[in-house]
Amino acid sequence: MKKIAFLIFCVFVCISCRQNSHNNHHEEHTHNHSNYQSGVPAHKLIFPSATPDRIIVNLTQNPARSFAVNWRTNQQIDTAYIEIAKETHGPDFLLNHQVKRIKATSQFIQLENTRDQEPLVKAAYHSVVVKNLEPGTTYVYRVGNGANNNDTWSEWFQIKTPSEDINTPFSFIYFGDAQNDVKSMWSRIIRKSYKMMPEVDFMLHAGDLINHSESDREWGEWFYAGSFIHATVPSIMTPGNHEYDRTTGRKNLSALWRPQFTLPQNGPLEELKETCYAIDYQNMKLISIDAQSFINSKVSRNAQTKWLDSILSHNNKKWTTITMHYPIFSTKKGRDNKELREMIQPLIDKYRVDLILQGHDHTYARGYASNEGLGKTVVENSGAIYAVSVSGPKMYESQNQEWMVKRGEYTQLFQIITIDNNTLNYNSYTSKGGLYDSFSLVKYPNGKKKLTNHKPDINIRHKKDFVPKN
């Protein structure tokens, strides 16, 4: 009898706790929950507080001397700051006025994603470009509202600027589409990549980071998955079709793209700022083409093509990498991006671009335009290498095509690319850390490149049965 009474008591406490927590949300957030169907856990990913969240570092056009930081708070915080100092062995960077404080640019954004029955979210987005930094130096920084105690500041993060000696080895991680079930299924991918390469210099996201461009919850999942990695390793991202709003026919870039990232604004048109841009990273030129905008309009196509021609014709970097969401060579017939291939590939060939990193097809493939090296381990004079990859759990079928050296499906992957002066090493890994694809390129003074395809450790070909049914 006592047991039953205790159980009834527990159930009562539980129900009243849930009601309280629901009521608290109504008090905290002045928005309408009436059509909101999601559970409480989603709230943690959606609503900002006075303490910064979604903190992310982006590469600037000149990463050796500057970096950009973005973060989010609630709208009670209308003034925000970054504090930065050179890293020390202990807490002594806090002494003797070593910490410099810079005021952020802040903007209020309110967004209601009715497509997914998400509530109205009011947030303040803050950003700072920290300039006049020393190359090859590790800094510590934190973001907050300037309070005297630590309550509303982030933790101190460390971040390293690229070396002044441009031929110093550096590495970056390339992710294909994360896109779906990001918290559930992509978290371990980004975390595994960081675990395998904690000294990585930056990360590159080849579009479709999320599924619904206006879903605050999905963006919340993306930031959650990367957590402090986003704030410690700088990243760049090129938009995919899913970063464009489907409800407007993919014509409008996500309302959150520019508020939550600070990417270079050196593209050819106003509408291409922070989506089409070029970066000098040590001895590599890194270029983002806005593939959705390219498909959307002739004006954008012509502008991006002309701009790319100009960037590549003035390029004095040893290595050149282009990222864009839609592949120039697809992994399946019928998924063809003709305009991109017809307009961009001639420039890739003319200026001997080295790497093209793409997404969208939810499969893996790596190869080159001509099939001259098919089946060979060593190709003495390689052209551009094209890669399509996928990091999230959504998987499609692919078909053998002439351009492919390696093809695979139903595997979540990330790629670690290391450039050491004249040598580029590319390794594709599974979520378990198995080597899935590997090659190296050696560049000679005359510009010729020797490609060596390495044997992967993982030769299994997953089939459709490996993807759980929803």
Residues forming contacts to Fe ion in the complex (CB under 5 A) are: 208, 240-241, 360
β 120-130/413-420 pair status: unpaired
Give the tokens for residue 36.
């909101």
Least CB distance to Fe ion at residue 318 (A): 31
* Contact partners, residue 263, CB within 8 Å, separation at least 6: 58, 59, 68, 236, 237, 274, 275, 277, 288
* Contact partners, residue 178, CB within 8 Å, separation at least 6: 186, 189, 190, 205, 208, 209, 210, 222, 225, 391, 392
Least CB distance to Fe ion at residue 212 (A): 12
Main-chain dihedrals φ then ψ at residue 14, nearest 5 degrees: -60, -45
Least CB distance to Fe ion at residue 467 (A): 18
Nearer to Fe ion by Cβ, of 178 and 405: the residue is 178
Nearer to Fe ion by Cβ, of 67 and 386: the residue is 386
Cα–Cα distance measured from residue 289 to residue 272, given in angstroms and rounded to the nearest whole number = 9
Nearer to Fe ion by Cβ, of 193 and 241: the residue is 241
Residue owning tokens 């492919």:
404
The terminus-to-terminus CA distance of the chain in angstroms comes to 43
3-state secondary structure of 438: strand
Least CB distance to Fe ion at residue 204 (A): 16
Nearer to Fe ion by Cβ, of 240 and 367: the residue is 240
Give the tokens for residue 400.
């053998």
Least CB distance to Fe ion at residue 337 (A): 11
Nearer to Fe ion by Cβ, of 47 and 326: the residue is 326
Nearer to Fe ion by Cβ, of 127 and 241: the residue is 241
* Contact partners, residue 364, CB within 8 Å, separation at least 6: 176, 331, 388, 389, 390, 406, 407, 408, 409, 411, 413, 428, 436, 437
Residue nearest Fe ion, CB atom distance: 360
> How many other CB atoms sit within 10 Å of the CB of residue 440?
16
Nearer to Fe ion by Cβ, of 359 and 383: the residue is 359
Nearer to Fe ion by Cβ, of 301 and 360: the residue is 360
Least CB distance to Fe ion at residue 207 (A): 6
Give the tokens for residue 218.
């999905």
Least CB distance to Fe ion at residue 177 (A): 6
Least CB distance to Fe ion at residue 208 (A): 4
Helix (H) or strand (E) run with residue 124 in it: strand 120-130
